[in-house]
A = this chain, B = another copy of it.
């Protein structure tokens, strides 16, 4: 399945400042993007990066199409949903999923195709805090809007156009990485480039007695 991966190429992950500096945030964001691309490919689907600016992915293993689109990411994604229907669905996966696995991608894609008799609709993988981290769109009139509490907005949109909704219950897909506390999840559960990048940068886990565990940083990596 064609799988769009929108990517904010300029100034990504600003809420990780000052835990990571500008260059580090850019490198870490790209490592998560590589994990998402790799998981989509290994799940047997076709990733297509939609970036706000030209993008170099410095890894020999990455040779996916990158479309540069200077519109806001929602508009750039929507322009690529023209013509979707139940026979030709399109998936969308955000790029900052440091816990993503091929199995998690399959659960999203399979959710929409689970019932062959279902009306055209949308499968949604919610993100923490009201966001939307994954979609499979098979209804021709459904359009995305990632701004604000997009999970509720996407459900509303689906109702408005008569699209069925399936919600995918996945911790891995719900964990988009925005805040330092999200790095804990990458270190504990990540299996790819993002977790490796953090470890190479000296980011580790501390605390854990009583309260939740915290990220720490040692050395210069």
Given A149-B213, A151-B188, 12 more contacts at CB 8 Å? A128-B212, A130-B188, A130-B205, A130-B208, A130-B212, A148-B209, A148-B213, A152-B188, A169-B170, A171-B171, A174-B174, A178-B212
Distance in angstroms between the alpha carbons of A171 and B107 in the assembled complex? 13
User: For residue A211, which residues in chain B have a CB less than 8 angstroms away from its CB?
Assistant: 15
Contacts A149-B205, A174-B174: A189 and B126 contacting too (C-beta < 8 A)? yes
- A130's nearest neighbour on chain B, judged by CB, is B213
28 contacts between A and B (CB under 8 A): A15-B211, A103-B169, A107-B169, A126-B171, A128-B212, A129-B181, A129-B185, A129-B212, A129-B213, A130-B184, A130-B188, A130-B205, A130-B208, A130-B212, A130-B213, A147-B209, A147-B210, A148-B208, A148-B209, A148-B210, A149-B188, A149-B208, A169-B171, A170-B170, A170-B171, A171-B171, A171-B173, A174-B174
Hey, what's the 0/1 contact readout for A134-161 against B, CB within 8 Å counting as 1? Answer: 0000000000000111011000000000
User: For residue A107, which residues in chain B have a CB less than 8 angstroms away from its CB?
Assistant: 169
Distance in angstroms between the alpha carbons of A104 and B101 in the assembled complex? 19
Copies assembled:
2
Q: Give the size category of A's interface with B.
A: 20 to 34
User: For residue A173, which residues in chain B have a CB less than 8 angstroms away from its CB?
Assistant: 171
Write the nearest CB–CB distance from A211 to chain B, whole angstroms: 8
Contacts A171-B170, A188-B152, A205-B149: A212 and B131 contacting too (C-beta < 8 A)? yes
User: Does chain B have a CB within 8 A of A30?
Assistant: no
Q: Which 7 A-B pairs have the closest CB atoms?
A: A129-B212, A171-B174, A149-B208, A130-B213, A148-B208, A149-B213, A171-B171
Judge whether B170 and A126 touch: CB under 8 Å. Answer: no
